[in-house]
Amino acid sequence: MSHCEIGSQYRRCACIRRDVDIATTASWLISEPKQAETAIQNSQLDMVTLGREMLRDPYWPYHAAEELGVSLASDILPIQYALAV
Ligand SMILES: Cc1cc2nc3c(=O)[nH]c(=O)nc-3n(C[C@H](O)[C@H](O)[C@H](O)COP(=O)(O)O)c2cc1C
C-alpha cells in the first residue's frame, strides 16, 4: 500500500473496525477539517492522525472545530490557551 493513497488507508481502517472491532486511525496529507470529519462520520475510522499539519498549525484542532461550526470551539483547548484565542 502506498502511504500516499489515503483512500486505501480509509478503506483498510473500515475493514479492521468492522472485522476486529478496534479503534483505527489514518494519516498522510490530511489537512482539511471537512476531509477528516467526513471520514469519521462515514465510520471509516475513529480518529485522524496529523503530523506535519500540526507542525504548521498547532491550533489545527481548534481551527478545525471553528471551521466545522462547533459551538464553543475553544472548549477543546486547555483553559489557559482558550483565554488567548
Ligand atoms: C514530527 C513528527 C513526529 C512523528 N512521530 C511519530 C511517532 O512517534 N509515531 C508514529 O507512528 N508516527 C509518527 N509520525 C508520523 C505521522 O504520524 C504521520 O504518519 C506522517 O507524518 C504522515 O502524516 P502527515 O502527512 O499528516 O505528516 C511523526 C511525524 C512527524 C512530522
* Any domain includes 12: yes
- Please tell me the distance from the alpha carbon of residue 2 to that of residue 14, in angstroms, as a whole number: 17
pLDDT, residue 50, reads 96
* Any domain includes 2: no
Residues enclosing ligand 1, CB less than 6 A? 27-30, 49-53, 55
pLDDT along the chain (85 residues), means of 10: 69 92 92 93 92 96 96 94 92
pLDDT, residue 4, reads 53
pLDDT, residue 1, reads 45
* Any domain includes 15: yes
* Any domain includes 3: no
Residue 68: give the domain boundaries: 8-82
Nearest one of 13, 9, 32 to 22, comparing CA atoms: 13
* Any domain includes 53: yes
From the alpha carbon of 3, which atom of ligand 1 is closest?
22
**Residue 30 corresponds to which amino acid?**
I
What pTM, to 2 d.p., does this model score?
A: 0.82
* Any domain includes 63: yes
* Any domain includes 1: no
Looking at the structure of the chain, the number of domains it has is 1
